[in-house]
Amino acid sequence: MKIKIFTLLILLLTISGCVYYNTFFNAETYFKEAQNMGLDDEGRPKSNAIKKYQQVIKKCGIVIEYYKGSKYADDALLLMAKSFFYIGRNYTQTISTLEDLIKFYPESELVPEATLYIARAKYEFKQEEESYDLLYKFLLNNNFKDYHPKALQILANYKLLENDYVQTEYYLNKLIEEYPDSDEYEEAFFLLGKSQNEAGAYDKSNEIFFKLLKSKVSRKTKFDARYFIALNYLLLKEYQQAADYSTKLLKDEYRDNKISTIRLIQARSLAELDNIDDAIALLETITEDHKKSSLSASAFYFLGDIYFHKLKEYSTAIEFYNKVKIEDKNSEYLEKSISQSVIASQIIQYYNPTSKISAKELIDQQFKLAEFYIEYLEMPDSALIVYDDIIHQENRFKTSIDTLQIQLDSLIVIIDSLEIADSLMQVTISDSFKTDEIDTLQVQLDSLIVIIDSVGIVDSLLHITELDSANINEKEDIKIQKTNLQAEYNSIKLLIENAERNILLYQKEFVPFAKLTKLWLHKKVLVDSIEVDKIYNELLTDYPDNKYTYAAEQFLAGNDSIVIATRKYINETAQYSNAVDHFEVQPEKAIESLIPIANDTQNEYHYKALYGLGYINYFLLSDSLSAKPYLDSVIAYTENSEFKNEVSKFYDGVNFIKISRLPFIEQMIQIELEKVKVLQEEDEEEENLEIKQISEELTEEIKEEPENISPVKGKE
C-alpha cells in the first residue's frame, strides 16, 4: 500500500513538474520577453510583443484546461489576465479572468495583485468611478498592506493623467514617507518630479529631480530624470542651459528609443538661441526617423514655429503645421498647429495679398480651425466665432479696396504733375530766368506734398524721395521719380485686382458655405430654430441661386444626401441629359432639345450642346453643311480643349476627314469588346473548373467503392 502511495506521489510531482517546465515556464518566458520589448512611439505594445502575449495566453490556457488541480493554475490565470491587459484591447477578458481567479482560488496569495489589475482594467475600460472605489477599499484592507504602495502609485498615476496635481502630490508623498523601502518608492520619487513639471512648477520639478539624482535609484530612472531637467530648463526659457544639458545627455544616453526625444529639446533650445540651421536639421531628422508618430508630429509643429516666428516664412509654416494632423491626429500640438496656421494665413491675406497661395487655401485654414472646435473639442460656440470672422472678412476687403483706390487716385495726380514737370524740363531756360522757374517748380512740388499728406499716403509705401531744389534741373531725377511712382501704381492696382477677386470668392463660396455650416450647427447641435430661420432667410435674400442655399433647403427638408449645386445647374443638367438620351434613336429630337441650350451662352452645357449638334449632324445625319457652324464655334472656344481636340480629329476648320465614328467612340467600343472578351474567358475558366471538379469527384467515388470494380480484366 505504501509503495502505491509513494508511486502516486512521484507521478503527481512529475506531472506538476511537466506543467511548469513544459508549459507555464515557457509562458513566463514569453511574458518577460514581451515586457522587455517596450512600447512604440504611441505608447502601445509593439507587434512582436503582442505575438508574445498571445503565446502566453495560449500556454496558460493549456495549464487551466488540462491541469486544473495544478499549483500553477492560479498563476496561469493571473499571467493570462495580465497578457490580455497589456495587449490593450481585451479589458473585459482581463476582468473576467481575474474574477475567476478570486472566485476559484480565494486563498491564493495572488488575490491582491489580481484585485489591483481589475481596478486598472476598469479604469482603462472607462469605468473610472468603479476603479477608484475598488482602490480606496483596497487601501482600507489590512490583509493587502504589502500591496498598499502599489495601490498608491496607481492612484497617483491616474490623478496625474487627469491633471489633478494636488491629489497626485498627496498620494506620492504618502508613498514616499510611509513606504521608503518599497519597490514603488523609486518610481514615486520620479513621478513627483514629473507631476510638478506637468503642473508648470518647473523650478520645483528640477529641485526634486536633482535630489533624485543623488539618491540610490536605477540608472534608467536617473536618465529619465535628466531628460526632465533639460526640458524644465527649456520651459523656464533658460535656453543655453537647456541646450548644454541636452547635448551632454545625448552623449551619455544608452537607450536608442530616447535619443530623438532629447534631440527635440536640443532643437527647440537651439532655435531659441537663433541657431536656426542646426535646429531645422535636427527636427527634419526626427521627422524622417519617426514617420507617422507623435514624435514626428511634434517635430513638424516646431518646424512650423521656426518658419513662423523666426524666419517669417508664413507659407512654409502653414505647410509644416498642416503635417501635424497627418502624422498624429491625437497630437498634443494639434490645436496649436491649427490655430497658428490660421494666424499665418491671415497674415498672408492682410500683409501679402500678392502671395502665390490662393485665397481658397488661406480660408481653408480657418475652416479647419472651426472643424477642430466642433469635432475634437466639442466647442460649437468657438466654431461660430470663426465662421462669423470669415463672413466679416468680405467687408474688410471692400474697405481695403476703398483705401487702395484713394491711394491710386493720389498717385495718378502726382504722376500727372511729374509729367508736367518733365515737359517743363524740355524747355531751354535762359540763365536769367532759371532761378524763377526753379522757384515756380518748387512751389508745384510743395503743393504735391500737401496732396500726398492730405490723403494719408505713408512715405514707406510710396518710397518717394523728396526732391532737392538744388538738383531740380536734373531731368534724371524726374525720370526716377516717375519710374518709382509707376511701380507703386502697378503694385496698388494689383492689390485692388486681387481684393476684387477675393470678394467674388467670398460672395460665391466662403460666406454662403460659412452660413450653411452655422445653420447646421444651430439645427443639429445648438437646437436653435430661431437662428436657423434667420440664417436661412439671409441665404435666400443674399444668395438666392447659390449652391449652398440650395443645400440648406435640402437639409431643412430632411434629405439625407445633400447635393451641393444650384437649382440652375441641376435644371440645366437634367435638360442636357434629356437631350443626349435621344442621340442614337431620335437624333432629330435631340437636335430640337440641344438648340436652345446651344443658343444660351450662360448655360452650363452651352459648348457641350454645340459639340453635340455638330456630332449628330455630321455622323448620324451625314449633314456636314449643318454641322460646320456648330463645330466652328467649338474650335473657336479656346478654353475647352477636350471637345476641341476631338473635333480636330475629323474637322480642321475648313475640311472634314472621312471617318465613320469619332476615335474616342471607337475606343469606347473597343473597351466594351475587351470587357466581353474577359467575361467570356472567365466563363470558360469557370466551366473548366466545374469539369475538373466533377472529374475529381467521380475519381473519389471510384476510389471509395473498389468492390464494384473487378480486379480481373473483362470480368463484371
pLDDT at 706: 42
Q: Residue 652: is its pLDDT beyond 70?
A: yes
Q: Are 488 and 461 in contact (CB under 8 A)?
A: yes
Rg (CA), the chain: 41
Higher pLDDT among residues 492 and 8, named by residue: 492
DSSP 656: B
| Residue pointed to by grid coordinates 475647352 | 640
User: Is-contact 569 606, C-beta < 8 A?
Assistant: no
More confident residue, 50 or 394: 50
Taking Cα atoms as reference points, which of 34, 41, 49 lies closest to residue 259? 41
Percent of the chain with pLDDT over 90: 26
pLDDT at position 515, please? 87
Q: Looking at the DSSP assignment, which residues form a beta bridge with residue 656?
A: 651
Cα 689 from Cα 443, distance rounded (Å): 103
DSSP character for 467? Answer: P
Helix (H, G, I), strand (E, B) or coil at 39: strand
pLDDT band at residue 282 under the 50/70/90 scheme:
very high
Q: Give the pLDDT confidence of 521-545 residue by residue, as tens digits.
A: 888 788 888 888 998 898 888 888 7
Amino acid at 220: K
pLDDT of amino acid 449 = 42
CB–CB of 630/598 below 8 Å?
A: yes
Amino acid letter, 302 = F
Least confident of 202-216, 430-444, 580-594, 682-696: 430-444
CA angle 27, 30, 36 (to 5 degrees): 140
Give the pLDDT score at 358. Answer: 65
In the predicted model, is pLDDT for residue 67 greater than 50? yes
Average pLDDT, rounded, for the chain: 77
Find the angle CA(169)-CA(175)-CA(178) to the nearest 5 degrees: 130
Considering only 73-87, 107-121, 231-245, 487-501, which range has the smallest mean pLDDT?
487-501
Model confidence pLDDT, tens digit, residues 32-48: 998 888 777 667 888 88
Q: Which candidate, 344, 279, 286, places its Cα nearest to that of 315?
A: 344
Q: Which sign does the torsion angle of CA 45, 49, 51, 56 carry?
A: negative
With cut-offs at 50, 70 and 90, classify the pLDDT of residue 624. confident
- Distance separating alpha carbons of residues 150 and 292, to the nearest angstrom: 34
> Three cell numbers at 247?
547635448
Using the structure block, give the residue that is written with the C-alpha cell 488540462.
66
Q: Give me the mean pLDDT over the 620-625 stretch.
A: 80
What letters, b where the CB count within 10 A reaches 16 and e where it falls short, cover 72-104?
Answer: bbbbbbbbbbbbbbbbeebbebbbebbebbbee
Cell numbers for 269, please give them: 533650445
pLDDT at 454 over 60: no
The model's confidence at residue 638, banded by pLDDT at 50, 70 and 90, is low
Looking at the domain covering 1-140, what would its CATH class be? Answer: mainly alpha
Which residue, among 93, 99, 86, has the nearest Cα to 37 in the 3D structure? Answer: 86
pLDDT confidence of residue 611:
83
Is the pLDDT assigned to residue 123 strictly greater than 90? yes
The Cα-based distances of 59 to 51, 83, 85, 702 in angstroms read: 13, 11, 16, 44
Contact 231, 265 (CB under 8 A): yes
Grid cell for residue 480:
526716377
Q: How far is CA 351 from CA 106, 330, 399, 487, 631, in A?
A: 74, 32, 15, 18, 48
- Of the two residues 357 and 593, the one the predictor is more confident about is 593
Across the range 212-221, mean pLDDT stands at 89
User: How far is the C-alpha of 210 from the C-alpha of 505, rounded, in Å?
Assistant: 59
Start-to-end CA span in the chain (Å)? 67
Return the ∠ at Cα 175 (arms to 171 and 176), rounded to 5°: 120
Query: 348-352, 356-360, 465-469, 470-474 — which one is most confidently predicted on average?
Result: 356-360
Q: How far is CA 701 from the centre of its chain?
A: 61
> Per the structure block, which three cell numbers stand in for 499?
481684393
Asked whether residue 129 carries a pLDDT value surpassing 90, the answer given is yes
Which pLDDT score, from 0 to 100, does residue 251 have?
93
What ranges do the domains of the chain cover? 1-140, 361-560, 567-660, 668-703
Inter-residue contact 410 to 485 (CB < 8 Å): no
pLDDT average, residue stretch 586-605: 81
Interval 551-576 mean pLDDT: 67
| 575: amino acid identity, one letter | Q
The confidence score (pLDDT) of residue 568 equals: 59
Give the mean model confidence (pLDDT) for residues 130-150. Answer: 93
Mean pLDDT across the stretch 298-312? 92
Residue 691 has pLDDT above 80, yes or no: no
DSSP 521: I
Name the CA dihedral angle for 65, 69, 74, 77, rounded to a multiple of 10 degrees: 0
| Cα-based distances in Å from 583 to 502, 616, 619, 621, 628 | 41, 7, 11, 11, 18
Give the tens place of pLDDT for each residue, 226-275: 999 999 999 999 999 999 999 999 999 988 889 999 999 999 999 999 99
Q: Where residue 550 falls among pLDDT bands split at 50, 70, 90?
A: confident
Q: Which of 326-330, 568-572, 619-623, 639-643 has the highest mean pLDDT?
A: 326-330
How far is Cα 80 from Cα 57, in angstroms, rounded to an integer?
Answer: 5
Looking at per-residue confidence, does 105 or 420 come out higher?
A: 105
Are the beta carbons of 154 and 116 closer than 8 angstroms? yes
487: confidence class by pLDDT, cuts 50, 70, 90: confident
The three cell numbers of residue 345 are 494665413
pLDDT of residue 694: 58
For residue 651, what is the DSSP state? B
Task: Residue 620: name the closest of 645, 584, 575, 656 by CA.
Answer: 584
Q: Which of 75-79, 193-197, 473-477, 549-553 has the lowest mean pLDDT?
A: 473-477
Contact 400, 499 (CB under 8 A): yes
Q: Cell 530616447 belongs to which residue? A: 258
- Please report the pLDDT score of residue 571 as a whole number: 61
Lowest mean pLDDT among 232-241, 436-445, 502-511: 436-445
pLDDT at 375 (0 to 100) = 66
What is the pLDDT, as a whole number, of residue 47? 85
When pLDDT is averaged across residues 657-682 and rounded to a whole number, the result is: 57
Any idea what DSSP says for residue 198? H
Count of alpha carbons within 13 Å of 225, Cβ hemisphere only?
A: 25
Residue 457 has pLDDT above 90, yes or no: no
Average pLDDT value for residue range 99-128 = 93
Distance between alpha carbon 86 and the CA centroid of its chain, in Å?
Answer: 29
- State the amino acid at position 319 in one-letter form: E
Say if CB 610 and CB 636 are below 8 A apart.
Answer: no
Going by the DSSP 8-state scheme, the letter that residue 465 receives in this structure is: P
Cα within 13 Å of Cα(262), Cβ side: 24
Percent of the chain with pLDDT strictly greater than 70:
72
Backbone CA torsion sign across 555, 557, 560, 563: negative
User: In the block, which residue shows the cell 544639458?
Assistant: 245
Q: 20: pLDDT confidence band, cut at 50, 70 and 90? A: low
Higher pLDDT: 587 or 667? It is: 587
Residue 712 grid coordinates: 480481373
pLDDT at residue 257 in the model: 85
Q: Is the pLDDT of residue 683 over 70?
A: no
